[in-house]
Each structure stands twice: as C-alpha cells, then as structure tokens.
Amino acid sequence: MLFPIGVMIDSFRRPLREGMALARAVGAAGIQVTVVEGEMAPERMDAAARVRFRKTCGAAGLRIAAVCGDLGGHGFERADENPAKVSRTRAIVDLAADLGCGVITTHIGVIPDEPDSPIYRAMQGACRDLGFYAAGKGVSLAVETGPETAAALRLFLDRLEAPGVGVNLDPANLVMVTGDDPVAAVRTLAPYLVHTHAKDGRQLQPCDRHEVYGAFAEGGFAQLEARMGRLFQETPLGEGAVDWPRYLAALTAAGYRGFLTIEREVGVDPEGDIRKAVAFLRRTMDG
C-alpha cells in the first residue's frame, strides 16, 4: 500500500519555481502543475521551453504526476462553446505529451441524469473527440469526481466508449457535494482510475450539485453560501470524512499504482498543511 506522493503546485500559492522547491522540501516525489494560463500555458511553452521544463523537473528529482487542464466555466455542457474548448484542450494534450506527462485533470461539467438531454450529448461529443485525440498521444483526460456520484460517472464513461478518458478521483469532492462514499467509488471507477487527489473534507448540509457547480462556474459561490449557509468544509488531511486507511486499501485492491497528489485549496498555512499531509499519508501507508 505504497503510493508516490505528489503536490498540486497551486496549493502553495507561490510562483511556480518556488512551489517546485517547496514540493521537494516537504518530501513530495511529484507535482501537478496548471497549464491553462500563465507561464505554463501551451502558447507560452515552445519546444525548447518544454524540453527545459522536463529537465528542470528531472534535476529537482520531481516527476510530473499530472497537469491541470481545467478550462473552468461549465466544462463541456454548452455545445456552442465546445469547439473552442476542445481545440484548447487538444493543445494542452500536446503540451502534456511533450512534458512526458500522461494525465490531464479537468472538470467536464455536471453530468445530467437524462442521457438523451442536449447537455449530456454535448458532453459526450466533446469527451469522445478528446478521448481519441488524447489516446493517440499516450495521454489520459482525467475527469475529476465531484459533480455526480461515482455510479453516474461510471455510466457516462461506459456509454462514451472512447479510449483516453479516465478518472481523477478526488475523495473530498465526493463527500462534500454528493455525499458519496470514496471507498465504494474506487471500486466503481477502478477501470478508469488514472490519478487521485489527496484532499479531505466533510459535508455540512445536503447540497444540490447543479447549484454548487453552477455557482462555481459563474463565480458566485460566495452568494450561494450567503443564501444557503455553509454547505461543506475542506479540512486538513485526516480531519474530514474520508476514511483514508480504507481508501488506500481500496486503491491497492483496485491495482492503482499512481500518485496521491495533495491538493489544499483553503487555509492560512498551506505549506504547513501540505507538510502535515505528506506525513499523514506516509504514516497511513506504513500502518
């Protein structure tokens, strides 16, 4: 039950190179880096820059566990937006391949309950296109869990019938929004599992997934909480509702051998929380 530990560089809330140094300092073996905008965006990374970044990571003893290619908004829910988003994501796939990274994490939107709905069809079309493209580059587009149960996501992926689309299992997202069991989710999503975040949290009151992710997409989550009250809480690793010993055991049983990438989106001391998270994961794996 030993997995390499990574860190999402954005969680340090520092510039990229400082974040990479901190990742090594806290004992991580890998990093996840956002490539949607800024210095790591595809248009900012020519061929030479891509080679340099790979060498920089190697010299620092860091592997690129995943890149974050989340374009925000409503994912691929809106058919009229998808040509531009698919084109942009293809460029991110090319970048990931050049960086030697096989995983791109992203949110694709909120999967509707009705498979014949226009939104469902739009999401399937975009993911199918990108799945075949990513597979041709040796890359997986990893759909992040959260907006729906693991069972609903599994059905969506089974219907997709496209290579190159996998799952980034974020256990905290499941418990915070859908109230789903991350341990059962590992078993449900095992054939598609290519990456997992190490994040914890708890649900404070039942959530409407469409409202929650719609508010995130529109930049109005604070207004939603002002109206509804606090819906959920992200916690330091080991202090939330994720049963980490059972979760890690489920990953082992499923044959998962990838990274546990720590993501810390809140808190006043992210570096301290990440150090504690690394230590917590090591203790739990050793136990």
pLDDT in tens, 232-251: 999 999 999 999 999 999 99
Provide the pLDDT for residue 287: 77
Give tens-digit pLDDT for 138-183: 999 999 999 999 999 999 999 999 999 999 999 999 999 999 999 9
The residue-averaged pLDDT of 20-48 equals 97
Instruction: Kindly indicate the confidence band of residue 1, based on its pLDDT and cuts at 50, 70 and 90.
Output: low
Give tens-digit pLDDT for 76-135: 999 999 999 999 999 999 999 999 999 999 999 999 999 999 999 999 999 999 999 999
Give tens-digit pLDDT for 186-224: 999 999 999 999 999 999 999 999 999 999 999 999 999
Q: What is the pTM for the complete model shown?
A: 0.96
Contact of 27 with 5, CB cutoff 8 Å: yes
Provide the pLDDT for residue 67: 98
Q: Which burial class, exposed, middle or buried, applies to 213 when counting CB atoms under 10 A from its CB (0-12, 13-18, 19+)?
A: buried
Among 175, 195, 186, smallest CA distance to 31 is for 195
Provide the pLDDT for residue 8: 98
Residues near 175 by Cβ (< 8 Å), separated by ≥ 6?
A: 181, 182, 201, 202, 203, 240, 241, 242
Q: Which residue has the tokens 């694709």?
A: 108
- Going along the chain from its start, the domains and CATH numbers come out as 5-286 (3.20.20.150)
At 28, give phi and psi (nearest 5°).
Answer: -80, 150
